[in-house]
Amino acid sequence: MADYATRDIRNIVLVGHAASGKTTLVERILESTKTIGRMGTVEDGNTVCDYEPEEKAHQHSLNSAVVHVDFNNCRLNLIDTPGYPDFVGQANAAVAAADAVCLVVDSMRGIENMTRRMMRLAAEENLPRFICINKMQLGKDGLEELVEQLRETFGRECLPVNLPSAGGTSIARCFYRTAEGAPPDFSSVEDAHQALIDQVVEIDEQLMERYLGGEELSSEELGAAFKKAMCMGHLVPILFTSARQGVGVDVLLDVVTRLCPSPEEANPRPFLVRKSEGGDEEQWLPAADPSKPFVGHVFRVAADPFVGKLAAFRVHQGMLKSGDSVVIGEHRKAVRLAHMFQLQGKDHVECHKAVPGDIVAVAKIDEMHYDAVVHGELGFETIRAKSIPQPTPMFGLAVTAVKRGEEGKISQALIRLAEEDPTFKFDRDSTTHEMVMRGIGELHLRVVIERLKSRFNLEVNTAPPKIAYKETISVKAEGHHRHKKQTGGAGQFGEVYLRVEPLPPDSEETFEFVDDTFGGSVPKQFMPAIEKGVRQMLQLGCVAGYPMQGIRVAVYDGKYHPVDSKEVAFITAGKRAFADAVSKAKPRLLEPFVTLEVATPSDYMGDITSDIMGRRGRIQGTDMLTGGMAIITAEAPLAEVMSYAASLKAMTQGTGSYTMEYSHDEPTPAHIQAEVVAAYKPKEEDD
Ligand SMILES: Nc1nc2c(ncn2[C@@H]2O[C@H](COP(=O)(O)OP(=O)(O)OP(=O)(O)O)[C@@H](O)[C@H]2O)c(=O)[nH]1
Ligand SMILES: [Mg+2]
């Protein structure tokens, strides 16, 4: 469909737990709309969406993939996302580009941890959503119960729009009813239809009155109410499919094209703008109006073997033509978009214009980065996206090059991989000086290592990284240092008295420096030198060489010499006086705590909870899922769960999985602090 308008677009993201059938469903939609000739399978590694070698090898989507389909006078942009918890970053990012969320549920395994997580996110992002129970044949005996569990878990607004029939091999339509077809395997078309109408008319008083007055409402009126109810979250349609058999996909396409909102009807995605220099940041909603200035939001960055860096963005307002110049994020200089593409999995089709709601991609623009706002002249001082919250990755590995001298290449390659993945971080740890990569879980980093090899032909050795502790103090104390150097030539003199005290735990600042002197005991020009000395010690640490935080330093007295006092003298005096005060302020080591989310067959819950408690962890909650699975949420010190993957595998015979993300810092127990301090070898000081 060469020419379509914003009202014809439907942007749907498919989310849900791993192996629920999202990629296969997209493949089936492409096949049933004749967008592709033959349907591929995940097993054969020839689907449109799982095109990366690692995806074929693992038979799981590892990135989000965009395809477009023209059907029923609509342009459907479908975004397939990974369901494996380690790759949640990609799924989260893709949600920002959608106007409606399709939550895919495996009929056999039911509600799993990513099912909950993505449904929670869709609701928090105020996105219309519908549930697709896939593999309906497999779970045919438990479908009625599953519908009940979905309603209990996600709300009574979840209502079937079709029902399985003929033993799960066919479906009966319940919203747009049809005469033909076998009766449903449970409930009835009448009851389901009634329940839907009762639900959707509730959003409009007049409609409700007319309906309760016995008036027959037209299918247009009901369709419009259905769409509005979805946008309000007052209706969450449930539908049944078998992506493998191609059953129920026609109803899915119906729901998407006739009942899901176009970008004009959808709930606009908020941005944060500053209208004038120094003004407050405020929320701003773009209008899906082609006459307004262009605004787009980058939700996916990928390295393409042919065109290099490919950035996909959703157009939220205005029009874009290839050759236009745009501003990217905070950059001031405009960039010209020479070529624009529409995506079809790994393939990209050149296009020359984009309207509000469109999802397009551009290549080879270095300034493009994940979450960037691309825009025309808006007249705002600044604009940024109201980002989708992403977990802070905590599963770390220290990397070293297998081949000497490849460290530089490895850093470059990992930095490029980090550009593509909002939850993959790579840096040289300023404390432990190790090259550390961090992801959400073990599989996440294993895939990164595979990509290093397959894309950059680089190999690394890995090891658990050293824990990046932090240091702080627990009580107020005073410190003093008199620095005096008379070694022939220019002397040095500076004397500092200062007080340290812990900052309030909820303080936003990690450090505060105050000049509390009076009567010129320390000339003002030397205060920055004292602060510089104190900041050097903050970086070096006073306990075991880890950066310090949560401290307020107040210089309250000192002495200077009209000749010998100079910056270097007060830097040293500041440093030593601070170290002296810290040594009396009961210094503590802080260790990072992580939130663990462990998915396990419920039989192993006992072992897992006691194991976590044995690792100084605290259980925060357990959730029983359908299919005999359970989710255990806990907090634990990172130091105790560095090699948790192997233990969990052993405890659950490989059936458990977990994710971990940063939670907070906590003082280490005294015995741990003693061990870390004992292992610490302070570096020689130069002064
Ligand atoms: N029996 C049956 N199997 C299906 C159906 N849909 C998908 N599958 C199979 O389920 C497995 C997982 O399918 P995928 O499409 O990869 O699932 P996914 O949700 O994309 O998984 P992730 O990419 O890991 O998130 C594959 O072996 C599919 O062939 C279905 O309707 N019926
Ligand atoms: Mg997939």
The residue type at 213: G
pLDDT the model gives residue 423 = 94
Closest CA to 548 of 556, 560, 557, 540: 540
Which atom of ligand 1 is the closest one to the Cα of 87? 25
Nearest listed ligand to the Cα of residue 243: 1
Distance of CA 601 to the CA centre of its chain: 26
Query: Do residues 325 and 271 make contact, with C-beta atoms less than 8 angstroms apart?
Result: no
Average pLDDT over residues 497-512: 91
Nearest ligand to the CA of 60 is 1
Sole residue written with tokens 């591929």:
40
Please state, in angstroms and rounded to a whole number, the distance separating the CA atoms of residues 558 and 568: 15
Task: Point out the ligand 1 atom lying closest to the alpha carbon of residue 134.
Answer: 31
> Which numbered ligand comes closest to the C-alpha of 168?
1
Integer Cα distance of 487 and 507 in angstroms: 44
The helix or strand, by DSSP H or E, that contains position 363, with its residue range, turns out to be strand 359-363
Please report which ligand is nearest the Cα atom of 19: 1
Direct distance between the N- and C-terminal alpha carbons of the chain, in angstroms, rounded to an integer: 73
- C-alpha angle 370/361/447, rounded to 5°? 55
CA of 46 to the centre of ligand 1 (A): 13
Q: Whose CA is nearest to atom 30 of ligand 1?
A: 135
What lies within 8 Å, CB to CB, of 414 at 6+ separation is 399, 426, 435, 437, 448, 452
Best mutation site among 13, 15, 17, 23 for ligand 1, i.e. most ligand atoms within 8 A of its Cβ? 23
Please give the structure tokens belonging to residue 672. Answer: 């741990």
24 CA to middle of ligand 1, Å? 6
Q: What is the mean pLDDT of residues 223-233?
A: 94
Q: Which of 14, 24, 242 to probe ligand 1 with, by most ligand atoms within 8 A of CB?
A: 24
> Can you tell me the distance from the alpha carbon of 422 to that of 660, in angstroms, rounded to the nearest whole number?
15
pLDDT in tens, 310-343: 999 999 999 999 999 999 987 778 999 989 999 9
Q: Which residues, at least 6 apart from 634, have a Cβ–Cβ distance to it below 8 Å?
A: 595, 596, 598, 609, 612, 617, 618, 619, 620
What's the mean pLDDT in 418-442? 89
β-sheet bridge partners, residue 298:
313
Per DSSP, the three-state class of 545 is coil
- Sequence-ordered list of residues with C-beta below 8 angstroms from that of 504, at least 6 positions apart, any chain: none
- What does residue 637 show for φ and ψ, rounded to 5 degrees? -70, 135
Ion ligand 2: residues, CB within 5 A, are: 22-23, 61
Q: How far apart are CA 201 and CA 196, in angstroms?
A: 9
pLDDT 10s digits, 531-571: 999 999 999 999 899 999 999 999 999 999 888 898 999 99
Question: Is the model's pLDDT at 687 over the cut of 50?
Answer: no
233-237 average pLDDT score: 96
Give the model's pLDDT for residue 179. Answer: 60
In terms of DSSP bridges, do strands 308-317 and 295-304 run parallel, antiparallel, or are they unpaired? antiparallel
Region 120-141: mean pLDDT is 93
In the chain, what are the domains? 7-190+235-259 (3.40.50.300), 270-385 (2.40.30.10), 395-466 (3.30.70.870), 471-586 (3.30.230.10), 591-671 (3.30.70.240)
Instruction: Compare 111 and 431 and report the one with higher pLDDT.
Output: 111
Q: Is 679 exposed, middle or buried (0-12, 13-18, 19+ CB in 10 A)?
A: exposed
Nearest Cα to 369, choosing from 297, 308, 270, 284? 297
The two three-digit tokens of residue 293, written as one number? 């200035």
| Count of helices and strands (H, E) across the chain | 16, 35
With the most atoms of ligand 1 within 8 angstroms of its CB, the residue from 13, 32, 42, 239 to mutate is 42
- Whether pLDDT at 115 is above 90: yes
How does pLDDT run across 590-636, given as a tens digit for each residue?
Answer: 999 999 988 888 889 999 999 999 999 999 998 887 667 888 999 99
Angle CA 636–637–641, to nearest 5: 80
Burial degree of 120 (CB within 10 A; 0-12, 13-18, 19+): exposed
Contacts of 670 (CB under 8 A, 6+ apart): none
451 Cβ below 6 A of ligand 1: no
Residues 6+ apart with CB under 8 A from 188: none
When comparing pLDDT for 173 and 345, which is higher? Answer: 345
Whole-prediction pTM: 0.85
What integer best gives the mean pLDDT of the chain?
Answer: 92
d(C-alpha 513, C-alpha 535), whole Å = 9
CA 47 to centroid of ligand 2, rounded, Å: 9
Q: How many CB atoms lie within 10 A of CB 527?
A: 18
Residue whose CA is at the smallest distance from ligand 1 atom 7:
21
- 484 three-state secondary structure: strand
Write out pLDDT tens, residues 627-666. 678 889 999 999 999 888 889 989 988 888 888 888 899 9
| 173-210 residue pLDDT tens | 887 766 667 889 898 999 999 999 999 999 999 999 99
Buried b / exposed e along 191-207 (16+ C-beta atoms within 10 A) = ebbeebbebbbbbbeeb
Please tell me the predicted confidence (pLDDT) of residue 9.
97
Go through the chain and tell me how many residues it has. Answer: 687
* CB distance 259 to 128 below 8 Å: no
Instruction: For residues 63-80, give the mean pLDDT.
Output: 97
Q: Are 662 and 439 in contact (CB under 8 A)?
A: no
Question: Cα angle at 244 between 241 and 245, to 5 degrees?
Answer: 75
**C-alpha 135 to ligand 1 mean position (Å):** 8
Residue 352 buriedness (CB in 10 A; 0-12 / 13-18 / 19+) = exposed
Assess whether the C-beta atom of 199 lies below 6 angstroms from ligand 1: no
Span from the CA of 91 to the centroid of ligand 2 (angstroms): 11
Amino acid making up residue 283: Q
pLDDT of residue 136: 93
Give the list of residues 6+ apart from residue 673 with CB closer than 8 angstroms, or none.
Answer: 543, 544, 588, 589
Dihedral sign for Cα 220, 221, 223, 227, please.
positive
| Banded pLDDT at 260 (limits 50, 70, 90) | very high
Give every CB contact of residue 684 below 8 A, 6+ residues apart in sequence.
none
Of 171, 197, 183, nearest to 107 by C-alpha is 171
Ligand nearest to the CA of 114: 1
3-state SS, residue 257: helix
Ligand 1 pocket, residue 23 CB under 6 Å: yes
Are the C-beta atoms of residues 425 and 383 closer than 8 Å to each other? no
**Averaged pLDDT, 65-74:** 96
How much is the pLDDT for 430?
Answer: 77
Question: Which atom of ligand 1 is least distant from the CA of 43?
Answer: 27
Q: Which residue has the tokens 């899901």?
A: 260
Reported as type and span, the H/E element at residue 245 is none
Kindly state the tokens that stand for 349.
């089709």
Nearest to 351 by CA among 668, 140, 77: 77
Instruction: State the distance from the centre of ligand 1 to the C-alpha of 138, rounded, in angstroms.
Output: 12
Q: Report residue 550 as tokens.
A: 């949560």
Residue with CA at minimum distance from ligand 1 atom 14: 21
Give the DSSP H or E segment for 537: helix 527-540
- Those residues whose C-beta lies under 8 Å from the C-beta of residue 330, and which sit 6 or more positions away, are 382, 384
DSSP-assigned states of every residue in 23-80: HHHHHHHHHHTTSSSS---TTTT--SS--SHHHHHHTS--S-EEEEEEETTEEEEEEE
Own/partner pairs, 537-542, CB within 8 angstroms, 24+ separation: 537/575, 537/578, 537/579, 537/582, 538/511, 538/578, 539/430, 540/683, 541/431, 541/471, 542/471, 542/578, 542/579, 542/582, 542/583, 542/587
| Stretch 367-381: mean pLDDT | 91
Q: Evaluate the CA torsion angle 382, 388, 389, 391 in order and state its sign.
A: negative
The pLDDT > 90 percentage for the chain reads 74
